[in-house]
């Protein structure tokens, strides 16, 4: 396993739309393992392949405190949304920035697991939020794009300043 580099907003590669995975093979299983290692190391609860500059429809997630409930979504599609809720979100690609986003309260998602088996999951609460957040990444969208232009510009400025000081 290997730690992968997480792209930082406003990197343009975060806006690349991910392509469907054609075949779940050893390369994809290695990607999934590396994504989990990267996500756990970064103390996140979800990671889309887009965030590690792999533009294929792969998402990993683990909402447990103990990091023992890994979930894999390959070629995920939300088939149903219901209700509305707001939640303060953060993102590994936008470190240290948190803001409130309105999303569907409940979702149904269809995907493949790392063995290539199809499953359907009905989710609500944090899991539903996380699924929508990560699937946005696969569509080339970062959560800050739900915010006002003023907030987006402030975030870009803040992250660019931080990047300069870290060099």
Known binding-site residues equal 91, 133, 137
Q: Pick the catalytic residue: 26, 65, 66, 134?
A: 134
From residue 96, alpha-carbon distances to 43, 99, 151, 153, 154 in Å are: 12, 10, 14, 15, 13
Binding residues for Fe cation: 91, 133, 137
Instruction: For the chain, give the longest Cα–Cα distance.
Output: 46
- 26 belongs to the catalytic site: no
Q: Please check whether residue 107 is in contact with residue 80, taking contact to mean a CB–CB distance below 8 angstroms.
A: yes
Query: In which element (H, E) is residue 52 found?
Result: none
What distance in Å separates the CA atoms of residue 92 and residue 45, rounded to the nearest whole number?
9
* Six-digit token string for 22: 């054609």
What distance in Å separates the CA atoms of residue 105 and residue 138, rounded to the nearest whole number?
20
**Which residues are identified as catalytic?**
134
């Amino acid at each position: 396993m290997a730690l992968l580099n997480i792209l930082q907003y406003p990197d343009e590669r975060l806006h690349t739309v991910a392509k469907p995975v054609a075949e779940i093979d050893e390369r994809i299983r290695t990607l999934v393992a590396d994504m989990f290692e990267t996500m756990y190391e970064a103390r996140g609860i979800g990671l889309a392949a887009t965030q590690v500059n792999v533009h294929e429809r792969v998402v990993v997630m683990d909402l447990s405190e103990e990091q023992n409930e890994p979930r894999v979504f390959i070629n995920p599609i939300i088939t149903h949304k219901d209700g509305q809720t707001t939640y303060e979100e953060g993102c590994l690609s936008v470190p240290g920035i948190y803001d409130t986003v309105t999303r569907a309260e409940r979702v149904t998602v269809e995907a493949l697991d790392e063995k290539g088996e199809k499953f359907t999951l009905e989710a609500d609460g944090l899991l539903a939020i996380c699924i929508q957040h990560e699937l946005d990444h696969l569509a080339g969208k970062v959560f800050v794009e739900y915010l006002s232009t003023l907030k987006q510009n402030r975030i870009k400025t803040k992250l660019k300043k931080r990047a300069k000081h870290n060099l």
